[in-house]
Amino acid sequence: MSVERRPLISGNWKMHHNHFEAIRTIQRLAYNLSSADHDAVDVSVHPPFTDLRSIQTVLEADDIPIALGAQHCHWEESGSFTGEVSPTMLAKLNVSLVIVGHSERRQNFGESDEDVNRKVQAVLAQGMTPIVCVGETLEEREAGSTLDRVADQLSRSLTGVNRSQASSLVVAYEPIWAIGTGRTATPEDAQEVCSAIRRQVGEFWDAEAAGGLRIQYGGSVKPVSAPDLMRLQDVDGLLVGGASLDPDEFARIVAYRLVG
Ligand code: PGA
């Protein structure tokens, strides 16, 4: 039985674009995307927290079918956590997707697999979709431990998530050595890891959950590499950093299916 999985292409703006720049960028992106793009692909943008309200207003005022996403959050609903933002606050802004466990959060801000797991559960509890990031370092790849590393991150991230929540999950495979470096995994390597992720989700729950799971590839995706990545059997979307900052370049990635 083959399952229809709608592609999801997400732009992670990281710490770029103040709210004026964000408004200009989203307006230009909306102009660039056609209704055929929206029919074929789900698109989300993940701006810094300070931009969320401005972008929400633009998207809702003009009925633009781009999903609003965040880059991370805390797992508690409220409390004495200086500098943090809660899942409930994000849900209130109609954020529908939250990136969880990005390697930059893990490496630079000490997020553990246990933190990631708490966040996954908190995001799901608010009816939002977590984009759970997993991926190996260059040393792990060279040591041949990529699949073990990714499997370990994934099982720790999904602990306690129940079967009925499985359909709202997205997993992003992002080899750390490919992020922001201009190096992309080969299609063969990306497919190998993404198919292992799907197999693991099948073992964790069942074949239906595995068949419905959306898996993104991330790491230096550009308009020129997007079509080959999106052709892979187990790649259902892309998590795009640098190339999502420019609305013209990002729109060309979303239109990957028109190439070749
Ligand atoms: P990049 O970032 O496309 O700039 O490599 C991807 C990511 O970090 O999600």
Report the mean per-residue pLDDT for the chain.
Answer: 96
| Contact status, residue 228 vs residue 189, Cβ threshold 8 Å | no
Give helix 146-158 / helix 113-125 axis angle, nearest 10°.
50
Write down the architecture of domain 8-258 according to CATH: Alpha-Beta Barrel (3.20)
- Mean pLDDT across 99-125: 96
Ramachandran area for residue 7 (φ above 0: left; ψ -120 to 50: alpha; else beta): beta
7-60 pLDDT, tens digit each: 999 999 999 999 999 999 999 999 999 999 999 999 999 999 999 999 999 999
Strand ranges (E), 136-188: 170-173
In the prediction, which pLDDT does 166 show?
87
- In the predicted structure, residue 2 carries a pLDDT above the cut 60: no
Question: What are the domain boundaries of the chain?
Answer: 8-258
In the prediction, which pLDDT does 260 show?
63
Report which protein residue has its CA nearest ligand 1's atom 7: 241
Ligand 1 pocket mutation pick from 220, 229, 253 by most atoms within 8 angstroms of CB: 220
- Mean pLDDT across 76-104: 97
Task: Name the percent of the chain lying above pLDDT 70.
Answer: 98
Q: Which two tokens stand for residue 199?
A: 């197999």
Q: Which of 86-90, 129-133, 178-182, 190-194 has the lowest mean pLDDT?
A: 178-182
What is the DSSP annotation of 122-142? Answer: HHHHTTPEEEEEE---HHHHH
Instruction: Find out whether the beta carbon of 218 lies less than 6 Å from any atom of ligand 1.
Output: yes
Q: How far, in Å, from the CA of 238 to the mean position of ligand 1?
A: 10
Instruction: Find out whether the beta carbon of 219 lies less than 6 Å from any atom of ligand 1.
Output: yes
The minimum-distance atom of ligand 1 relative to the CA of 181 is: 5
Ligand 1 pocket mutation pick from 10, 240, 245, 252 by most atoms within 8 angstroms of CB: 240
